[in-house]
Amino acid sequence: MPQALNRFRTPKAPAPRLYQLLRTAGVFLLGLVLGLLAKWLDTIPHDGSLKSLLLAQTGQFLSRLGAWAFIALLLAVFSAGPLRASLNVSGFFAGMLLGYYWYTTVLFGFFPRRYATVWIIIAAAASALAWLIWYARGSGWFPAFISAIIIGFFITQAFSLGMWYVDLREFPELFLLFASSAVLYREPKQFLYAVLGGVLFAPVLSALFPYVFGGL
- In the predicted model, what is the mean pLDDT of residues 172-195? 96
Q: Where are the domains of the chain?
A: 1-134, 138-216
Q: Lowest mean pLDDT: which of 52-56, 166-170, 199-203, 210-214?
A: 210-214
pLDDT for residue 214 is more than 70: no
Burial class of residue 61 in the structure, from the number of CB atoms within 10 Å of its CB (0-12 exposed, 13-18 middle, 19+ buried):
middle
Three-state SS letters, 147-213 = HHHHHHHHHHHHEEECCCCEEECCHHHHHHHHHHHHHHCCCHHHHHHHHHHHHHHHHHHHHHHHHHC
Q: Mean per-residue pLDDT for 40-57?
A: 83
pLDDT in tens, 101-154: 999 888 878 888 888 888 888 889 998 899 999 999 999 999 999 999 999 999
Instruction: Please tell me the predicted confidence (pLDDT) of residue 189.
Output: 95
Query: What percent of the chain stands above pLDDT 90?
Result: 58
Predicted pLDDT of residue 215? 47
Whether residue 26 has pLDDT greater than 70: yes
Give the model's pLDDT for residue 117. 87
For residue 83, pLDDT over 60 is answered with: yes
Q: Is the pLDDT of residue 61 over 70?
A: yes
Alpha-carbon gap, residue 25 to 124, rounded angstroms: 18
Contact 180, 168 (CB under 8 A): no
